[in-house]
Amino acid sequence: MARRVTSHDVAALAGVSRSAVSLVLNGRAEGVISAENQAAVRAAAKELGYRPNGIARSLRSAATHTIGVITDSIASGTYGGAMISGATDVAARKGYLLLAIDSHQDRELEVEAVDMLRARQCDALLFAAEGLHSWQPPESFLAEKCLLLNAFDPQGRVAGVVGDEEVGGRRATELLLEAGHRRITYLTGTDEVIANGRRITGHREAIERSGAHSTLVPCGWEIDAGLETGTRVLDVAEPPTAIMCANDRVAAGVFLAAARLGLRIPEDLSVVGYDDDPNVAPQLGLSTVLLPHRAMGERAASLLLGALDGKELPTGEIPVDSPMVRRESVAAPRS
């Protein structure tokens, strides 16, 4: 079995002391070790394939270099994984690991998960939700450096990183307005989903400023709902020239409805979705709002790592921009 490469080996190859190796690889060399020697250490570590001993480092620093994550259903579901992926990548660049437990939306399991992660001496805790909602952190969660992801504390005791849903709703509407549409129908989601109300707020702001007309029609979140409701709003004497959809799955249903009615997209009807679902939007050429899950995860991890370095965590909701993804489903109206 090959001998494990040590910091002594790196120091010998780089021509520096072992303490210099430690300072460089732990990010504390600035102003202490010359740039030339820092580069030599990194080159030697890369050449030798050296990895710091995480256990020994934890014993020295009284830190485990882990962030405990409680999810409501992300780990066992198919949605929201980009949040965890983004957080994982940012943490890894700083030598941290994420340890995740899925609570399956069970409050008792959430509390147990917090206790389990604290027992493993995680340096910080993160609660991540699949869909935007309020969350009451248990006192044990608040006892650690902590943050919420895609969730917010109704009592404001801990900050939450969220997508900017109002901006997203406004941008989707503005895209249609800029193309010249003045008869717009918005197929909304369901009221119990908090993001739905925020998107509607953004939509109404854009409509009120433009002087255009829009009709809000409750729909839902699935393809079948988009097909049924889309058929109903389009099969009339004066149909809308554009439809804004609760999400990309609803937009897919609207595409089917338009096809059945002999309408072409975007020549006869413009359609905008929401989420930028990689399994739906690119295939349809659908203009849509990106739900910034990955950027949200990256932001949450960066804030927690900053707190572990002594920086103060912000308060309240921390919005992450929801950009517009322009594709071929929007054009100027024909009438």
Q: Which residues pair with 38 in a beta bridge?
A: none
Q: Are residues 82 and 107 in the same domain?
A: yes
User: Whose CA is closest to 132, among 298, 314, 302, 296?
Assistant: 296
What is the mean predicted confidence (pLDDT) over 157-171? 96
Is 326 inside a domain boundary?
Answer: no
Q: Rounded to whole angstroms, what are the CA distances from 211 to 171, 199, 239? A: 16, 19, 19
pLDDT-derived band at 1, boundaries 50, 70, 90: very low
End-to-end CA distance of the chain: give it in Å, rounded.
76
Beta-strand pair 324-325/317-320: unpaired
- C-beta separation of 25 from 34 below 8 A: no
Looking at residue 261, what is its pLDDT?
97
Looking at residue 55, what is its pLDDT?
46
Asked whether the predicted pLDDT for residue 225 surpasses 90, the reply is yes
CATH number of the domain bearing residue 47? 1.10.260
Average model confidence (pLDDT) across the chain: 89
Looking at residue 76, what is its pLDDT?
53
Asked whether the predicted pLDDT for residue 182 surpasses 90, the reply is yes
Q: How far apart are CA 129 and CA 105, in angstroms?
A: 9
What is the mean predicted confidence (pLDDT) over 29-40? 83
Q: Are residues 236 and 265 in the same domain?
A: yes
Q: What is the domain range of residue 104?
A: 62-164+293-320
Looking at residue 30, what is its pLDDT?
76
Q: How far apart are CA 91 and CA 112, in angstroms?
A: 24
Q: How far apart are CA 310 and CA 244, in angstroms?
A: 44
Is 325 inside a domain boundary?
Answer: no
Question: Structure tokens of 95?
Answer: 């030598």
Look at the chain and report how many structural domains it folds into.
Answer: 3
Q: How confident is the model over 240-292, as pLDDT tens digits?
A: 999 999 999 999 999 999 999 999 999 999 999 999 999 999 999 999 999 99
Asked whether the predicted pLDDT for residue 297 surpasses 60, the reply is yes
Q: Are residues 149 and 186 in the same domain?
A: no
Query: Which residue, chain included where needed, has tokens 């882990």?
Result: 66
Among 291, 306, 328, residue at a domain's last position? 291
Is 101 inside a domain boundary?
Answer: yes
CB atoms within 10 A of CB 40: 21
Measured in residues, the chain has a length of 335
What is the mean predicted confidence (pLDDT) over 99-128? 88
Percent with pLDDT over 90 in the chain: 60
Q: Which amino acid is at 20?
A: A
Looking at residue 2, what is its pLDDT?
55
Looking at residue 57, what is its pLDDT?
52
Quote the radius of gyration of the chain (alpha carbons, Å).
Answer: 25
Query: Which residue, chain included where needed, has tokens 């089917």?
Result: 256
Asked whether the predicted pLDDT for residue 33 surpasses 90, the reply is no
User: Where is average pLDDT lowest: 25-39, 95-109, 189-203?
Assistant: 25-39
| The overall pTM is greater than 0.85 | no
Question: Structure tokens of 287?
Answer: 């203009």
Looking at residue 77, what is its pLDDT?
55
Question: Structure tokens of 158?
Answer: 């801990």
Q: Are residues 140 and 175 in the same domain?
A: no
Q: Are residues 297 and 284 in the same domain?
A: no
CATH number of the domain bearing residue 83? 3.40.50.2300
pLDDT-derived band at 217, boundaries 50, 70, 90: very high
